[in-house]
């Protein structure tokens, strides 16, 4: 457990020292979402209707953008080799890296999402649901992304490969995240969608470290 | 299974059974097509366009079946390091992608006259589209490494992760009842489809399966021969 905490604080400290890197994902999130009104026109009703989908899709892409550096820096400078050799289970290492990734990418996205909801003229009554859905959904994005990031270590064009591997697996999170928000905004019961998001999170919490650790092991062979 | 781990034994065995499988596949598909196009009746509502079913449904079965084969081969490659499992996965992936594509295209062609649209974002269609992307990712990851073993190992893990999608596809029509109809052949209470349509469908399904088996054996064989040639070239380079 001390190894888990040590790795987590190390990653957070590294992210804090390179604040520009960590803030890139949020910047991308806000910027790309700000492009849609130029594309479809600034009509307030249309934007409010689009808000859940646009926020979720751009959040997904922003997480994707930051995945490549999840293991790559450690892979290149050799510290990943030490993590694989360490007595700590590799699954815990993957979990710590994914948690650090979520804290530096997912959490800022959640914080920025209300701003986008405001820009898109979304009904403020949906805000708690937006936060809740993103809080349940973005950790799964980090966990599933960790598998893709680990699998493409050492690959040619790894950065282009990650989206191809990770996006299909992320689609369920997108579907239920948007559905929960749409239900809340439309006055329906969002509970089943939230339950699904929670189930996806718990499932990936168990499976992603195992698959990620297997991927890291074969990358280090 | 480990008896066939020896590539030489595998090659000898596949040389013997390959012609039989190929002939049987061609015969079954020919009979199935004849039954489907000339003998089976037109649907009382859909008319002649129901005949698309005899290609669409077996392709969709194959799309899921081949992914299951890839996942099983990947598991045996990761667990037992079965030397042929990686080759089976590698050989199957493009075939599966083609069948998935065929299922999507024929479904789209069938959907236009029946549903009035080429595409709907229905759970079944979406999950099959995801399966198609998983096949593409599998192939891309396999070819993305300088070392073929590395690529095969990484692709095997991806195939196992992506396998969660297969049960979702199978049950998507029951969990979300939307435009795509639920299963009418593989059901617990027996097929709900008339024998005059069921038999051509089953002939086509079995024909497609054997066709896949024949194609897969040919591809595995050529992979083995290519590996042998590479090894020979490497030793020749060392000696000279």
Determine whether B109 is exposed, middle or buried from the number of CB atoms within 10 Å of its CB (0-12, 13-18, 19+).
middle
Residue in chain A lying closest to B121 (CA) = A175
**What is the spatial distance between Cα B168 and Cα B125, in angstroms, rounded to a whole number?**
11
pTM of the model: 0.87
Q: What are the extents of the domains in chain A? A: 2-220
pLDDT tens string, chain A, 221 residues long: the values are 688 898 899 989 988 888 777 788 899 999 999 898 888 888 888 888 889 999 999 999 999 988 888 898 888 888 888 888 888 899 999 999 999 999 999 999 999 999 999 988 888 888 999 999 999 999 999 999 999 999 998 888 777 889 989 998 998 899 899 999 989 988 888 899 999 999 999 999 999 999 999 999 988 87
Please identify which residue in the block is written with the tokens 């799964």: A140
List CB contacts (< 8 A) between A154 and chain B: 145, 150
CB A63 within 8 A of CB A141: yes
Q: Which residues contact A112 (CB under 8 A, 6 or more apart)?
A: A26, A29, A30
Nearest CA in chain A to B152: A218
Judged by a CB distance cut-off of 8 A, whether residue A192 touches chain B is: no
What is the per-residue pLDDT across B28-66, written as a single tens digit (0 to 9) for each? Answer: 999 998 988 888 777 777 777 788 888 999 999 999 999
CB proximity list for B192: less than 8 A, separation 6 or greater: B184
Q: What residue segments make up the domains of chain B, in order of their start?
A: 17-40+50-182+192-239
**Are residues A165 and B158, on separate chains, in Cβ contact within 8 Å?**
yes
Q: Let me know the angle formed at the C-alpha of B184 by B189 and B42, rounded to the nearest 5 degrees.
A: 130
The 8-class DSSP code of residue B116 comes to: S
Quickly tell me which residue has 């999608």 as its tokens. B165
C-alpha B201/C-alpha B199 separation (Å) is 5
Answer positive or negative: Cα dihedral of B53, B59, B61, B64. negative
Alpha helices in chain A (DSSP H): 2-17, 19-40, 44-67, 69-77, 79-85, 90-101, 107-119, 127-151, 158-185, 191-220
ipTM, two decimals: 0.83
Q: Which CATH number fits domain B17-40+50-182+192-239: 3.30.40, 3.40.630, 1.20.120, 3.40.390?
A: 1.20.120
């Amino acid at each position: 457990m001390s190894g888990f905490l040590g790795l987590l604080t190390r990653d957070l400290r590294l992210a804090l020292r390179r604040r520009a890197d960590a803030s890139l994902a949020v910047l991308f999130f806000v910027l790309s979402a700000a492009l849609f009104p130029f594309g479809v026109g600034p009509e307030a009703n249309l934007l409010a209707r689009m808000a859940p989908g646009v926020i979720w899709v751009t959040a997904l892409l922003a997480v994707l953008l930051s995945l490549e550096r999840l293991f790559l820096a450690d892979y290149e400078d050799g510290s990943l080799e030490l993590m694989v050799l360490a007595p700590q289970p590799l699954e815990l290492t993957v979990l710590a890296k994914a948690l650090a990734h979520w804290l530096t990418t997912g959490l800022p996205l959640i914080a920025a999402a209300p701003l986008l909801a405001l820009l898109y003229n979304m009904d403020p009554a949906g805000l708690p649901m937006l936060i809740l859905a993103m809080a349940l959904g973005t950790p799964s994005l980090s966990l599933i992304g960790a598998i893709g990031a680990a699998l493409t270590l050492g690959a040619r064009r790894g950065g282009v490969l990650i989206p191809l591997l990770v996006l299909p697996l992320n689609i369920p999170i997108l579907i239920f995240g948007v559905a929960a928000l749409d239900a809340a905004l439309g006055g329906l019961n969002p509970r089943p969608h939230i339950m699904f998001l929670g189930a996806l999170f718990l499932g990936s919490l168990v499976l992603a470290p195992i698959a990620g650790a297997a991927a890291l092991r074969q990358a280090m062979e | 299974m480990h008896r066939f781990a020896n590539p030489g034994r595998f090659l000898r065995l596949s040389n013997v059974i390959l012609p039989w499988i190929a002939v049987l596949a061609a015969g079954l598909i020919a009979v199935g097509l004849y039954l489907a196009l000339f003998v089976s009746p037109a649907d009382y509502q859909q008319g002649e366009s129901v005949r698309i079913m005899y290609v669409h449904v077996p392709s969709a079965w194959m799309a899921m079946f081949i992914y299951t084969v890839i996942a099983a081969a990947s598991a045996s490659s990761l667990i037992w390091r079965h030397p042929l499992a990686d080759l089976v996965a590698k050989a199957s992936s493009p075939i599966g992608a083609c069948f998935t594509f065929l299922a999507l295209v024929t479904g789209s062609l069938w959907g236009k006259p029946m549903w009035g649209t080429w595409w709907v974002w229905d759970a079944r269609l979406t999950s099959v589209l995801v399966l198609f992307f998983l096949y593409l990712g599998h192939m891309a990851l396999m070819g993305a490494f300088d070392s073929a073993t590395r690529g095969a190992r990484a692709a095997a893990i991806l195939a196992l992760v992506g396998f969660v999608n297969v049960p979702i596809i199978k049950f998507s029509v029951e969990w979300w009842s939307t435009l795509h109809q639920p299963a009418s052949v593989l059901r617990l209470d027996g097929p709900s489809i008339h024998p005059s349509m069921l038999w051509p469908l089953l002939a086509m399904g079995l024909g497609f399966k054997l066709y896949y088996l024949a194609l897969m054996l040919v591809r595995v064989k050529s992979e083995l021969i290519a590996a042998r040639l590479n090894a020979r070239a490497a030793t020749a380079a060392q000696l000279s």
